[in-house]
Structure 1
Amino acid sequence: MAHIIVLDDISDAGMLVRRILERKGHQVTAFTEEEDALEFVRKTPVDMAILDIKLKKMTGVEVLEELKKERPGIKAIMLTGYPTLETARDALRLGAQEYCVKPINKDELETKVAEVLGE
C-alpha cells in the first residue's frame, strides 16, 4: 500500500481523509501546516499527496509545486470546496492527477486514490 500525506488547514478534514484511506491499508500522515508537510516529504519517501487548495499561508497548488521539486514522481489529488476551472487547470498543469470536491465523498476518494496509484 501507499504512503500518503494529507494537507488541509482544517484538521477534521485531514483526519477524515486519513481514516478513510487507513481502512484501505494505506499509511497516512495528516498535516494542517504547509511547512510541516514539506519538511516531512523532504525526509520521508511519500507516494501521494492529497492537498486542499485553500490553505493558511500558501495555496495547495503552490505546495504541489514545492513537493514536485523534492519528489518529482509524487502523485497528487487536490481537494476543494470551491471548484473552478482555473484551479483545476493550475493543479493539473503542475502535475495533480485528480481533484475531489468537498465535502469529501468516501467512495469517490477511495476510487480516485486507487486509480491514481494504479491499483
Structure 2
Amino acid sequence: MAHILVLDDVVDAGILLKRILERKGHEVSVFSEEEEALAFLDGSGVELAILDIKLKKMTGVEVLEEMKKILPELKAIMLTGYPTLETARESLKHGANEYCVKPIDKEELESKVSNVLEA
C-alpha cells in the first residue's frame, strides 16, 4: 500500500481521511500546517498528497506547486468545500490527478485514491 500525505487546515478532517485510508492499508501522515507538510515530504517516500484547496497561509494549489518541485512524480488529489470549474482547472493544470468535493464520500475517496495510485 501507499504512503499518503494529507494536508487540511481542519485537523479533524485530516484525521477522518487518515482513518478511512488506514483501513485500506495505507500509511497516512496528517498535517494542518503547510510548512510542516512541505518539510516532511523530502525523503519521506510519500506517493500521494491529498490537499485541501483552502488552507491557512497558502492555497492547496500553491502547496502542490511547491511539492512538485521537491517530488516531481508525486500524485495529488485536491479537496474543496467550494467547487468551481476554475479551481478544478487550476488544480489539474498544476499537476493534480483528481479532485474531490467535501463533504468527502468514503467510497468516492477510496475509489479515487485507488485509481490515482494505479495510474
Task: Identify the TM-score tier after normalising by the shorter chain.
Answer: over 0.9
Q: Provide the rounded CA distance (Å) in 1 between the counterparts of 2:74 and 2:10.
A: 23
Q: How many residues align?
A: 119
1:9-28 pair list within 5 angstroms: 9-28=9-28
Structure 2 residue runs of 5 or longer lacking an equivalent are none
Paired residue type of 1:19: R
TM-score (norm 1): 0.98
Paired residue type of 1:112: K
2:74 is the alignment partner of 1:74: yes
2:107 is the alignment partner of 1:115: no
Paired residue type of 1:118: E
Q: Provide the rounded CA distance (Å) in 1 between the counterparts of 2:117 and 2:42.
A: 20
TM-score (norm 2): 0.98
Paired residue type of 2:7: L
Q: Provide the rounded CA distance (Å) in 1 between the counterparts of 2:108 and 2:15.
A: 17
Structure 1 residue runs of 5 or longer lacking an equivalent are none
Q: Provide the rounded CA distance (Å) in 2 between the counterparts of 1:111 and 1:48.
A: 14
The CA deviation string for residues 79-112 of structure 1, in whole angstroms up to 9 with x for no partner, is 0000011110010001101010000100000000
Q: Provide the rounded CA distance (Å) in 1 between the counterparts of 2:83 and 2:105.
A: 15
Structure 1 ranges of 4+ moved more than 2 A: none
RMSD: 0.9
Q: Which residue of 1 aligns with 2:102?
A: 102
